[in-house]
Amino acid sequence: MIDRIGEIYKEIESASLNTVEELESFRLKYLSKKGMISVLFDEFRNIPPESKKQTGQKLNELKQFATEKYNSSSSFLKKQEDKLTVSDYTRPAFPYPQGSRHPISIVRREIIDIFSRIGFVVSEGPEIEDDDHVFTKLNFAPEHPARDMQDTFYISRISEEDSNPEDVLLRTHTSSVQVRVMQRQKPPIRTISPGRVFRNEAVSARAHCIFHQIEGLYIDENVSFADLKQTLIFFARELYGMDTQVRLRPSYFPFTEPSAEMDVSCTICGGKGCNVCKYTGWLELLGCGMVHPNVLEACNISSTKYTGFAFGMGIERAAMLKYQINDLRLYFENDLRFLNQFRTAF
Ligand code: PHE
């Protein structure tokens, strides 16, 4: 029996345990209930008592040796396997499902990018504002209808009848951010303010109570309406293509004088007339104008030394014209059939 034990010992010593399969057949062959070592233990009961001591010792050594070899190979193989799953850079990539940017983010980034190329820096401000920054400093008369409850979400209103500079409300436009910039910075100022705005309107295909704006402001000595027009032409052509035409129509905003609205030639028919532009060839994009002297003075900027222009647009609107989206609600519903269509945009 001692000789058999010696032979098996050598066999075990030279057994190769490099794969999970080899490991398992090793276990079955030597260490399982019907394995060779168990068989030897069974036979051990019948050997003459004189040789029991020595044989028993050898047998125990054999069992211990086999068990140790099995355990160390098994933990080595396990470690190898773990390593493969984390750091084998040659493995093919997992097909991770990729998300896409929201069209509002795509267009916001694009607009910011266009204006930053001509020196505009991004400024941001609070969504919860006071009447002073949203209306009063922007030359809204005390009884201007935009302050009315029907347009503005008030958080607290000091008096129901009269507006008060301390009323707290959700900003209705990001012009409030520009007021904050003018208050803390001396001209030259060249800034754009992207952000969410809130208006108390019923939700429909053409109106929403939350939307996004980007407003721009440029103040320096000798800034003229021609600068405004040239800046906006540059912008429109960068966003919608070099063939884009623009036109300015006179308009009214309390904070600009003169004021205008800018149309771009229809992004679908190129100005020939189609049902998107209602056969006019034009699509309305933004409001703009020369900053009203009252606004400059209210922000402690000399209106005799400085002039400036401002413009503001809805990002939803700009994206609608770019991607021919015909319902504002699509932006907020997060329907994957809609969002997946923007996978290839950056
Ligand atoms: N603040 C205006 C709006 O919300 C847009 C605008 C900005 C118009 C700047 C003119 C100049 O509609």
Helical residues (DSSP H) of 15-156, grouped into ranges? 20-26, 36-44, 49-87, 103-116, 131-134
Q: Which range is least confidently modeled, 64-78, 144-158, 269-283? A: 144-158
The rounded distance, in Å, linking the Cα atoms of 55 and 4 is 11
Which of 183, 208, 180 lies closest to 196 in space, CA to CA? 208
86 — pLDDT class (breaks 50, 70, 90): low
230-258 pLDDT, tens digit per residue, is 999 999 999 999 999 999 999 999 999 99
What is the tens place of the pLDDT at every residue in 263-306?
999 888 888 888 878 899 999 999 999 999 999 999 999 999 99
Question: What pLDDT is stored for residue 45 in this prediction?
Answer: 87
Q: What are the pLDDT digits (tens) for 178-199?
A: 999 999 999 999 999 999 999 9
Read off the pLDDT band of 157 (50, 70, 90). confident
DSSP symbols for 40-77: HHHHHTTS-HHHHHHHHHHHHHHHHHHHHHHHHHHHHH
Taking 70 as the threshold, does the pLDDT of residue 84 lie above it?
no
Residue of 173, 201, 286 to mutate, ligand 1, most atoms within 8 A of C-beta: 173
Rounded CA gap, 49 and 120, in Å? 100
- How crowded is residue 55: how many other Cβ atoms within 10 Å of its Cβ? 19
Rounded to the nearest angstrom, the distance between the alpha carbon of 197 and the centre of ligand 1 is 12
Assign 85 a pLDDT band (cuts: 50, 70, 90).
Answer: low
- Which amino acids bring their CB within 6 angstroms of ligand 1? 173, 175, 215, 253, 256, 287-289, 310-312
CB neighbourhood size of 8 (10 A):
19
Query: What amino acid is encoded at 114 in this protein?
Result: I
Ligand 1 center–CA 286 separation, angstroms: 8
Give residue 232 CA to ligand 1 midpoint distance, Å. 14
Q: Are 122 and 193 spatial neighbours (Cβ–Cβ below 8 Å)? A: yes
pLDDT of residue 275: 80
Average pLDDT of 125-154?
A: 89
Tell me the pLDDT of the chain averaged across its residues. 90
Report how far residue 113's alpha carbon sits from residue 296's, in angstroms, rounded to the nearest whole number: 27
Average pLDDT for 325-342: 90
pLDDT for 346 equals: 57
